[in-house]
């Protein structure tokens, strides 16, 4: 079954002549450095046609109920399936050196890169693109840039949102719609969606969370507000309240992705530059929550 029309394939191959792979993961949580993959799927479009990769994965831990409520993948569904260390080499062979695209690709590729690091797979030259980032440039009139919103507004079918294969296909269709805006996409336009190359992670050899930041793991899990003293940014060496969301590996080092409650922006904080943590009182948390509601 073909998921893309000839016209859609032509537009994708105009910018990616050797082909492109869109991927999506379902996981036990948002942090590649501490959570586990439970589904890995991809759609590959090349001059020779389409190919699909679609695997449920046994994480060897209990899947939290709050994530089951999102994707519907239960512990029974993954029990006895292959583990990521068995599936990932096949997936890397499937993608070859083709460019990759995902929606909010930092998260998906964080799991892939960390998994490759854990089992000793060599990183290659694949370029990584983000359909969310590219949509902010190419589809500026959208209400927001969530995959579900973009597919609704662009009338792209998405029957099983938060299942990996359906989301991967939708992600690539969104990217194609963004490319369709431009008569002749050049390298500058493509760079608007570009994040990094897998090979860039060769410089990153430490995927550990520093011991002094271990208390952040529970905060990330519950997205519970806390203050960090950060050696950088406009509030250099001052405490700032944040709502932590994820630990992300990046080529320049491990990051804490968080909602900064001072700027009301989502930012990445280098773990190496977080000097200190400080708990917030219940009163402070309530005050911050009240401010967020007003905004």
- Provide the pLDDT confidence category of residue 122 given band limits of 50, 70 and 90: very high
pLDDT at 29: 94
pLDDT tens-digit series, residues 35-81: 999 999 999 999 999 999 999 999 999 999 999 999 999 999 999 99
User: Is the pLDDT confidence value at 295 over 60?
Assistant: no
C-beta separation of 248 from 254 below 8 A: yes
Token pair 């760079």 in the structure block, residue: 191
pLDDT tens-digit series, residues 170-194: 999 999 999 999 988 788 898 999 9
pLDDT at 159: 85
| Average pLDDT score over the chain | 94
Residue 255 phi, psi dihedral angles, 5° rounding: -125, 150
pLDDT at 233: 86
Closest CA to 158 of 146, 141, 144: 146
Q: Which tokens belong to 209?
A: 């969370």
Q: Which tokens belong to 241?
A: 């309240």
C-beta separation of 158 from 173 below 8 A: no
The secondary structure of 82-141 as a DSSP string is PPHHHHHHHHHHHHTT--EEETTHHHHHHHHHHHHHHHTPPP---EEEEHHHHHHHH-TT
Task: Please indicate, yes or no, whether the overall pTM of this predicted structure exceeds 0.85.
Answer: yes
pLDDT > 90 in the chain, percent:
84
- Provide the pLDDT confidence category of residue 204 given band limits of 50, 70 and 90: confident
pLDDT tens-digit series, residues 220-258: 988 999 999 999 888 899 999 999 999 999 999 999 999
């Amino acid at each position: 079954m073909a998921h893309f029309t000839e016209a859609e394939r032509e537009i994708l191959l105009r910018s990616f002549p050797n082909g492109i792979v869109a991927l999506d993961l379902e996981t036990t949580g948002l942090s590649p450095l501490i959570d586990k993959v439970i589904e890995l799927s991809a759609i590959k479009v090349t001059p020779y046609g389409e190919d699909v990769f679609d695997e449920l994965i046994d994480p060897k831990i209990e899947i939290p109920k709050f994530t089951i409520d999102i994707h519907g993948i239960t512990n029974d569904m993954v029990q006895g399936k292959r583990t990521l260390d068995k599936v990932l080499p096949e997936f890397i062979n499937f993608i070859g050196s083709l460019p990759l695209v995902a929606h909010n690709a930092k998260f998906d590729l964080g799991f892939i890169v960390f998994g490759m690091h854990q089992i000793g797979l060599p990183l290659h030259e694949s370029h990584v693109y983000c359909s969310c980032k590219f949509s902010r440039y190419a589809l500026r009139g959208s209400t927001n840039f969530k995959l579900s919103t973009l597919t609704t507004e662009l009338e792209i079918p998405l029957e099983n949102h938060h299942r990996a294969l359906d989301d991967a296909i939708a992600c690539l269709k969104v990217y194609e719609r963004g490319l369709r805006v431009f008569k002749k996409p050049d390298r500058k336009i493509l760079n608007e969606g570009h994040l990094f190359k897998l090979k860039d992670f060769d410089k990153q050899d430490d995927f550990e969370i520093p011991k002094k930041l271990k208390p952040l793991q529970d905060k990330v899990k519950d997205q519970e507000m806390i203050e960090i003293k950060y050696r950088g940014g406009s509030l250099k060496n001052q405490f700032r309240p944040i709502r932590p969301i994820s630990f992300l590996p990046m080529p320049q080092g491990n990051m804490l992705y968080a909602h900064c409650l001072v700027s009301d922006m989502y930012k990445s904080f280098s773990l190496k530059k977080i000097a200190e943590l400080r708990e917030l009182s219940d009163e402070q948390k309530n005050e911050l929550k009240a401010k967020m509601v007003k905004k």
